[in-house]
Amino acid sequence: MTRTALVTGGSRGIGAAISQALKAQGYSVAATYAGNDEAAAAFTAETGIKTYKWNVGDYEDSKAGIAQVEADLGPIEVVVANAGITRDAPFHKMTPEQWQQVIDTNLTGVFNTIHPIWPGMRERKFGRVVVISSINGQKGQFGQVNYAATKAGDLGIIKSLAQEGARFNITANAICPGYIGTDMVMAVPEKVRESIIAQIPVGRLGEPEEIARCVAFLASDDAGFITGSTITANGGQFFV
């Protein structure tokens, strides 16, 4: 049986690795993106994975996009809420716009992604929900009041969904990556990046594939007893 998986922000970075890992496991995968058409087209050409464009921060767009994915590929049984952004600034300089953009994408975007899929999962009595949170949602981070708030909020979402989904055979889990070598982290000035790496006990950034393998496991039948939990994958930088 081919299961359908949706990965938001699945065309680049960690999401692209997740899309590919799920495809390799035999899932029929839909990867979404926000606006970078060139990267999405290149990703589809390279992997054969279909991409869809919508803003996860918009509920109606998400609902319509998800309906299109289900019309094309069948009911979504695995959803990975991965799309995320940063708009960093020390709190005293953070603008309401920077706050709101991050809330819209990283927190409301997770609601908008899971909510339209949830009723179908309940009806079919099967579902796997995985949210990509962050180490900085667990420990906070200078300059990331907005981002840390959303990523901590994502953990609240999965712990609550785990309770609501349990009797419908739906699991909900989060992964908290540490620093992974994607565009998001490579955009940080080199000096700052070097100081970040110096704080990682294993002495390197993580690879997107290392997060993707965690997702593939959580999506699998083997992980049916794991729900409401958080996999911390950060090279030993922070323990919970």
What are the φ/ψ torsions at residue 87 (nearest 5 degrees)? -140, 75
Closer residue to ligand NDP (CB): 95 or 163: 95
Min dist. Cβ of residue 113 to ligand NDP (A): 9
Interface segment toward ligand NDP; rule CB under 6 A; list 80-88, 115-123, 156-164, 220-228: 80-88
* Candidate residues 27, 33, 99, 126; the one interacting with ligand NDP per rule CB under 6 A: 33
- Neighbouring residues of 48: CB distance < 8 A, sequence distance ≥ 6: 23
Assess contact for 22 and 78: CB atoms under 8 A.
yes
Closer residue to ligand NDP (CB): 36 or 100: 36
Q: How far apart are CA 193 and CA 196, in angstroms?
A: 5
Min dist. Cβ of residue 35 to ligand NDP (A): 4
User: Binding-site residue total for ligand NDP (CB under 6 A)?
Assistant: 31
* Candidate residues 5, 13, 66, 155; the one interacting with ligand NDP per rule CB under 6 A: 13
- Asked if 147 is an active-site residue, the reply is yes
Q: How far apart are CA 166 and CA 177, in angstroms?
A: 25
Query: Tokens for 165?
Result: 């989904």
Residue 221: strand, helix, or coil:
helix
Q: How far apart are CA 152 and CA 207, in angstroms?
A: 22
Quote the longest CA-to-CA distance of the chain: 53
Min dist. Cβ of residue 188 to ligand NDP (A): 9
Would you tell me which residues interact with ligand NDP (CB under 6 A)? 8-9, 11-15, 32-36, 39, 55-57, 82-85, 105, 109, 132, 134, 177, 179-180, 182-185
Residues taking part in catalysis: 147
